[in-house]
C-alpha cells in the first residue's frame, strides 16, 4: 500500500506572510508543498510563478509539488525546474504531446504528473504509465479555492487506481477535500491529498498541525 501524503495548497495561505506560512506547514507535518500555478487563461485566476517559488524554496526541504494550470506548459517547464520544484504536473487538456512533455520533465530531473479536470476522460493514460510518477484527479473545476467536492470524482479515482495497479504512481486528489471527504478518496485509491482551506483555516501552526492530522487519520 502506498504511503498517505498530505500536500497543503499554499493557495489558501496568507500571501502577506508566505515564507512564514511555508515554515509553519512544514513544522505542522506537511509531506509536500503544493503550488497551484494559474495563468488567467487556462483557468480564470492568476496566482504566482517561478520568482515567487524561488523566493520561498529555502523555507522548506519538503518536495515542492507544482501543478501547472497554464496553456503553455512546454514553454515554461524549465523555469519551474530552475525555481526548485521537485514535481511538475501538466494538464491533459492543454498538452498535445503528453508523452514528449512528460519525458522532458523527467529529463530535467523532476517527477512528472498529469492532471485531469472533472469533465475529462482518462482515455489515453494507459499508454503513458511508464512516463508517469503522479496522476492528479481534479475534484473541482480548477481556478478557485474553497469549492465543493464533486462526488463523481470518486468513481474516476477508483478507475485510475485499478489502471495503475501496483506501479509506483501516486494518485493525487485536489479540490474540496476535508476531514469528512478524505476517507472516501483514500478508500477509492488516492494516496496524496491536496487541501487548502481545510489546512490553513485558523491561521497558526497548532491548528495547521491538527488539521493535517485530521486529514491523515
Element (H, E) at 122: none
**How many separate domains does the chain show?**
1
Q: What is the DSSP letter of 10?
A: G
Residue with cell 511538475: 88
pLDDT at 142: 83
pLDDT at 137: 98
- Cα–Cα distances (Å) from 11 to 33, 62, 176, 199, in that order, read 11, 17, 13, 11
Residues forming a β-bridge with 34: 9, 65
Contact yes or no for 93/120 (Cβ under 8 A): yes
Length of the chain: 217
The Cα 21–Cα 32 span in angstroms is 14
pLDDT at 203: 84
Q: Is 102 exposed, middle or buried (0-12, 13-18, 19+ CB in 10 A)?
A: buried
pLDDT digits (tens, 9 = 90+) for 13-70: 999 999 999 999 999 999 999 999 999 999 989 999 999 999 999 999 999 999 999 9
pLDDT at 1: 79
Q: pLDDT averaged over the chain? A: 96
pLDDT at 43: 93
26 catalytic, yes or no? Answer: no
The Cα 100–Cα 32 span in angstroms is 26
CATH number of 201's domain: 3.20.20.70
pLDDT at 147: 80
Contact yes or no for 186/217 (Cβ under 8 A): no
Question: Which residues constitute the domain of residue 146?
Answer: 5-216
**115 contact partners, CB below 8 Å, separation of at least 6:** 67, 69, 89, 90, 91, 92, 135, 136, 137, 138, 142, 174
The 10 Å Cβ neighbour count of residue 199 is 30
pLDDT at 194: 97
Q: Among the options 31, 65, 133, 174, which is catalytic?
A: 174
Residues forming a β-bridge with 91: 115
pLDDT at 202: 84
Contact yes or no for 59/19 (Cβ under 8 A): yes
Confidence of residue 86 (pLDDT cuts 50, 70, 90): very high
Average pLDDT over residues 7-16: 96
> Is residue 143 over pLDDT 80?
no
In a 13 Å sphere around the CA of 13, the CA atoms on its Cβ side amount to 26
pLDDT at 146: 73
pLDDT digits (tens, 9 = 90+) for 89-131: 999 999 999 999 999 999 999 999 999 999 999 999 999 999 9
174 catalytic, yes or no? Answer: yes
Q: Among the options 26, 31, 36, 133, which is catalytic?
A: 36
pLDDT digits (tens, 9 = 90+) for 153-202: 999 999 999 999 999 999 999 999 999 999 999 999 999 999 999 999 88
Amino acid at each position: 500500500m502506498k504511503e498517505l501524503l498530505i500536500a497543503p495548497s499554499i493557495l489558501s495561505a496568507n500571501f502577506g506572510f508566505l515564507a512564514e506560512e511555508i515554515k509553519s506547514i512544514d513544522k505542522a507535518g506537511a509531506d509536500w508543498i503544493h503550488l497551484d500555478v494559474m495563468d488567467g487563461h487556462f483557468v480564470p485566476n492568476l496566482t504566482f510563478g517561478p520568482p515567487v517559488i524561488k523566493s520561498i524554496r529555502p523555507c522548506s526541504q519538503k518536495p515542492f509539488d507544482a501543478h501547472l494550470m497554464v496553456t503553455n506548459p512546454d514553454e515554461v517547464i524549465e523555469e519551474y525546474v530552475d525555481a526548485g520544484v521537485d514535481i511538475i504536473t501538466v494538464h491533459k487538456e492543454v498538452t498535445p504531446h503528453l508523452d514528449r512533455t512528460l519525458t522532458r520533465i523527467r529529463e530535467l530531473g523532476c517527477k512528472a504528473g498529469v492532471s485531469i479536470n472533472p469533465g475529462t476522460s482518462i482515455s489515453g493514460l494507459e499508454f503513458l504509465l511508464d512516463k508517469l510518477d503522479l496522476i492528479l484527479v481534479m475534484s473541482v473545476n480548477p481556478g478557485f479555492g474553497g469549492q465543493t467536492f464533486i462526488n463523481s470524482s470518486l468513481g474516476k479515482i477508483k478507475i485510475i487506481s485499478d489502471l495503475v495497479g501496483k506501479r509506483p504512481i501516486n494518485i493525487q486528489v485536489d479540490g474540496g477535500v476535508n476531514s469528512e471527504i478524505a476517507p472516501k478518496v483514500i478508500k477509492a485509491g488516492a494516496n496524496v491529498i491536496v487541501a487548502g482551506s481545510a489546512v490553513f483555516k485558523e491561521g497558526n501552526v497548532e491548528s495547521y498541525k491538527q488539521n493535517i492530522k485530521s486529514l491523515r487519520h
